[in-house]
Chains A and B, each alone.
Chain A
Amino acid sequence: MTYEFPLVFFTVLTQLGIGLALAAAWKTCFGGAAVPRRLWLAALVATLAGLVASLFHLGAPLRAVTALNGLGHSWLSREGLVFGLFVLLLLLAALRPGRAVTALPAALAGLAALVVQGFTYAPVSLPAVSNGFPLLLFALTALTLGTAFGAETPGPQRLTICLLLVVLLIVPCLWASGSAVMQETAALWRQSAGFWAGLVLTAAALVLSLVRRTAAPAQGVLLFCGALLVRVTFFSATVHTATHLGMPY
């Protein structure tokens, strides 16, 4: 079993960056108070950290730039491109914080990055996740993290956490009634300590938010760790069709 830690950190960190960017853009367009530059900078740093993590996934990181060769067909190439764009727009937003004209494009690029990631990590060879689930998971991860670190009130955070928990609890049940590979994926996820620990941390963030009646970085840290643990499960315990060759599908 490979844990794909570079991909775990890449996806969670970039989703943190996207979440923060969305929160910052929301504040810029609809919030009353001025948006601090550090929120944009935090989004930028998280995204760059994620991109650096992704390099560790490559056999030839020095030739990472050639990953743009496949734009015509490869979602992974497009992921590279859209993140490049996202980083540029985050930089612009950080240079000119508080302006919708820089905030909105950054937020839109972030949303696009989420969508592209949703496609990239949903290959046909992983039947359990070859659907909208990765997109849903990634978007909810971005939103929980974004609201935890960037929202003023706990409401949006509680809502997104609840949604995330519901999705994580329901989806494996759906797999259990699916094909053999999906069933095995469901079983492996349920046997995964990381998955349950991630759920507990996420739920703890919800409890904390209910108890303290505010959105606090502590909840964000819980959510971030929870997201990492669930992501490890996502990358290591999702069964590949090739492992079943010779067996019923």
Chain B
Amino acid sequence: MKTHEHLAGRRGFLKGLLAAGAAGVLGSGPGSLLRPHPAEAAPFDPSAYEVFRNACPRNCYDTCSIKTYVRDGVVQFVEGAPESTFTNGGLCVKGYTYPRRIYSPDRIKYPMLQEGRGSGNWRRISWDEAMSRIADKILEIKKRDGNLLGLGLTKYSGNFGITNYGVEGMMSSLGYTTRFVGTPCWPAGIDAQNYDLGDMWCNDPEDLVKARYIIVWGANPAWCSMHSMKYLYAARERGARILVIDPIFTQTAAKADEFWQVRPGTDGALALGMARHLLDAGLVDRDFVQNAAVGYEDFAAYLKTNVTVEWAAKTSGIPADAIRAATEEFAAAKPATVWIGYGMQRHTNGGSMVRAIDAFVAMSGNIGVEGGGARYGHLQTWGFNYHAMIQKQPAGSVGVRGASGPKGEFDFAGGEAATYSDRTLNINKTAQEILDARDPELRMLWIACKNPFAQDFDRNKLEKAFAKLEMVVSVEQFFTETVRHSDIVLPVTTLFEEWTINASYWHYWLSLNEQAIKPMHEAKSNIEIAALLSRAMNAREPGSCTFPQEVDGKEWMIKECNKGIYDLFGISSWEELRKGPAKARLASSASWHDRTFKTPSGKYEFSSALCARNGFTALPEYVEGRRPDAPFRLMTPHIQFGLHSQFVNLDWMEAYYPEPFVYIHPASARKKGIADGDMVRVFNRIGEVRVRARLSGNVAEDCVVMYEAWFRKLNYNVQNVVDDCAADMGAMKTGAPGVAIHDQFVDIAPADGGRA
């Protein structure tokens, strides 16, 4: 399929050799076979390509700007856009697999119908037939129930390109439906930062270089934000000290000056202990806490009454003298910053821990400071029109009475019609919510930009839940486990086959995503699929779907842009992005630089009445974590080779990441009779995973680690043993609380006699 166009020099050499070969096969003249002349391959010539602008739309801090080199209508290779100082010319191990994703023989090529869900008995159908079956089913549901609440959508972060919110738009254009809302990713921390600061708004990550002390707390940028590492290194070269706090000795920890292996779920205690020491040592920034904050005295009183450094040390496992020393260094360094990771808030007490860290940073006077800050994430650059997303329900549509809450952190639509709204179900309890849905039951599920069987919790329960569904439609690129549990699969375009525009929740760059090649096979973009469905719906029942029946991807991308975006990024039109990504014009690299907070008080709130109203403590008090019900804590964080269930399935990636492991401490393995490389069972009350063990002192003795991934050839799924226990916060801003992904407990035993 692909041609080695840019290696033409080598090919040219071959031709020359063959021609000369005729002159004398064994002769000694130039070009003879016996004395091949050194190949002088022609220099690489970038001008021989059409170069397109693309952006990696995955749920990733780095959201890289891509330059795509196309020749003869084929993507030859990709590289990072050099114009973005963040991407800096290089993609990551995942991004460089994109040419393979486009041309992978494993791609879903045309709509297919599975005769008997899970049977593997797939047959090719036309787009017409697929849409007929789907439209018929939707109309049948509407007729049966008198509404469309039996039709559900689950979609999340598989593709964050803005036009892909057209999937939500498609649902709205059909009527009031059921939406899985919330996010398994970061909601507890979002709410926590909203209580403290009024919004989630982090400094420009590129200003990390200005920091003199950096705590990376529960984040692993070496794997999950590789492009941020250069700023950590640069800061250190300028004299900064880097402390990594994590239950796992991560790759980032290995690059730090100091690593604290905190007991999982006790980060809040540790942060409060550090806050207490700021108080004891007289290191509190009086100006900030008195002039820019409210509730400080209450918090100080709480610390004095309830918190000691010794208690924090005992709870977290980090020695008291180390806590004191680091606190003093942090306070002395100006500026100092904490990078609060998403892993740290995936606990039943996750939001409270983020609030405790926020409070520590605030007391040290590092909020609103360039190079400082309690960095978590931001949505400052996401002010698009959401033209694709905001569609009108057909006249007479019936739904749930009254307004719904937010449908996720990216729900910028707001102002829902008050008479009726969609039914919202918790995305973090997908299985239970499907099982529990009544009046009407959930009958049909549309899945896009998401792989529930790889991401949703309690996989065994999910199997039961899917069995209840009358029709499942997946929009996919590969035959995932979710597709196996679907009736119809629709092939969706890769980012190279569609127009869209992308922003990041970490850095401040904006990237255009041009259509670089024609869609492969019969793949269509999400908005094209919506238009096709609209055509099928309206052909059957005119007016049953308001989604336009013709869409132009480029036009729809342009419709997402507005003056606010252009002004923020200092561009006059989207076309300027064809020259490369643009960075937001920031008054300061620091968030909250003018100390105008978006809290009810307009100040930093050590004590949040809103938080108390929502059922939590007003102060960032210590909350104990989930109690174990099995010998080992299980953590299932991200590995650098995949983004959730994407990338690891590609054969290119298998060259570097062929097989998953469960990582277990050598001492624990010894007690369990497990040797390095043994096949083991990791199990708990909801399921089990069979996987090879890798002994590693990087994990604590009472902890095991498995990295989430989908391998095309392996029956490996960490969600078999991860339940849907909720995190504390998240409902306020994302519609549902987060999920305690890292408060999971398992046992482990040799399987199949161990050696396998």
Which residues of A approach B to under 8 Å, CB–CB?
Answer: 63, 65-66, 68-69
| Minimum CB–CB distance for B37 against chain A, Å | 11
Question: Which of chain A's residues have a CB closer than 8 A to the CB of B413?
Answer: none
- Contact between chains at A69 and B36 (CB < 8 Å): yes
Which residues of B approach A to under 8 Å, CB–CB?
Answer: 26, 33-36
| Minimum CB–CB distance for B436 against chain A, Å | 51
- Closest residue of chain A to B35 (Cβ to Cβ) is A69
10 A-B pairs within 8 Å (CB atoms) are namely: A63-B33, A65-B26, A65-B33, A66-B33, A66-B34, A68-B34, A69-B33, A69-B34, A69-B35, A69-B36
Question: Within the assembled complex, what's the spacing in Å between the Cα atoms of A205 and B26?
Answer: 46
- Closest residue of chain A to B34 (Cβ to Cβ) is A69
| Minimum CB–CB distance for B28 against chain A, Å | 11
Question: Which of chain B's residues have a CB closer than 8 A to the CB of A63?
Answer: 33
Question: Which of chain A's residues have a CB closer than 8 A to the CB of B26?
Answer: 65
DSSP class of A's interface residues: helix, strand, loop or mixed? helix
- Closest residue of chain A to B26 (Cβ to Cβ) is A65
Question: Which of chain B's residues have a CB closer than 8 A to the CB of A68?
Answer: 34
| Minimum CB–CB distance for A188 against chain B, Å | 17
Question: Which of chain B's residues have a CB closer than 8 A to the CB of A66?
Answer: 33-34
| Minimum CB–CB distance for B479 against chain A, Å | 33
Question: Within the assembled complex, what's the spacing in Å between the Cα atoms of A63 and B18?
Answer: 13
Question: Within the assembled complex, what's the spacing in Å between the Cα atoms of A63 and B36?
Answer: 13
Given contacts A65-B26, A68-B34, could you give 8 more A-B pairs where the C-beta distance is less than 8 Å? A63-B33, A65-B33, A66-B33, A66-B34, A69-B33, A69-B34, A69-B35, A69-B36
Question: Within the assembled complex, what's the spacing in Å between the Cα atoms of A66 and B33?
Answer: 7
Question: Which of chain A's residues have a CB closer than 8 A to the CB of B34?
Answer: 66, 68-69
Question: Within the assembled complex, what's the spacing in Å between the Cα atoms of A68 and B35?
Answer: 10
Question: Which of chain B's residues have a CB closer than 8 A to the CB of A69?
Answer: 33-36
Question: Which of chain A's residues have a CB closer than 8 A to the CB of B35?
Answer: 69
Question: Within the assembled complex, what's the spacing in Å between the Cα atoms of A65 and B36?
Answer: 13
- Closest residue of chain B to A68 (Cβ to Cβ) is B34
Question: Within the assembled complex, what's the spacing in Å between the Cα atoms of A63 and B26?
Answer: 11
| Minimum CB–CB distance for A61 against chain B, Å | 15
| Minimum CB–CB distance for B506 against chain A, Å | 32
Question: Within the assembled complex, what's the spacing in Å between the Cα atoms of A240 and B412?
Answer: 59
| Minimum CB–CB distance for B380 against chain A, Å | 43
- Closest residue of chain A to B36 (Cβ to Cβ) is A69
| Minimum CB–CB distance for A235 against chain B, Å | 25
Question: Within the assembled complex, what's the spacing in Å between the Cα atoms of A68 and B34?
Answer: 7
Question: Which of chain B's residues have a CB closer than 8 A to the CB of A65?
Answer: 26, 33
Question: Within the assembled complex, what's the spacing in Å between the Cα atoms of A196 and B36?
Answer: 45
| Minimum CB–CB distance for B104 against chain A, Å | 27
| Minimum CB–CB distance for A60 against chain B, Å | 12
Question: Within the assembled complex, what's the spacing in Å between the Cα atoms of A69 and B34?
Answer: 5
Most A CB contacts (10 A, CB to CB) among B34, B35, B36 go to B34
Question: Within the assembled complex, what's the spacing in Å between the Cα atoms of A230 and B326?
Answer: 63
Question: Which of chain A's residues have a CB closer than 8 A to the CB of B36?
Answer: 69
Question: Within the assembled complex, what's the spacing in Å between the Cα atoms of A63 and B32?
Answer: 13
Question: Within the assembled complex, what's the spacing in Å between the Cα atoms of A65 and B35?
Answer: 12
Question: Within the assembled complex, what's the spacing in Å between the Cα atoms of A60 and B5?
Answer: 24
Question: Within the assembled complex, what's the spacing in Å between the Cα atoms of A66 and B35?
Answer: 9
| Minimum CB–CB distance for A125 against chain B, Å | 22
- Closest residue of chain B to A69 (Cβ to Cβ) is B34
Question: Within the assembled complex, what's the spacing in Å between the Cα atoms of A65 and B27?
Answer: 12
- Closest residue of chain B to A63 (Cβ to Cβ) is B33
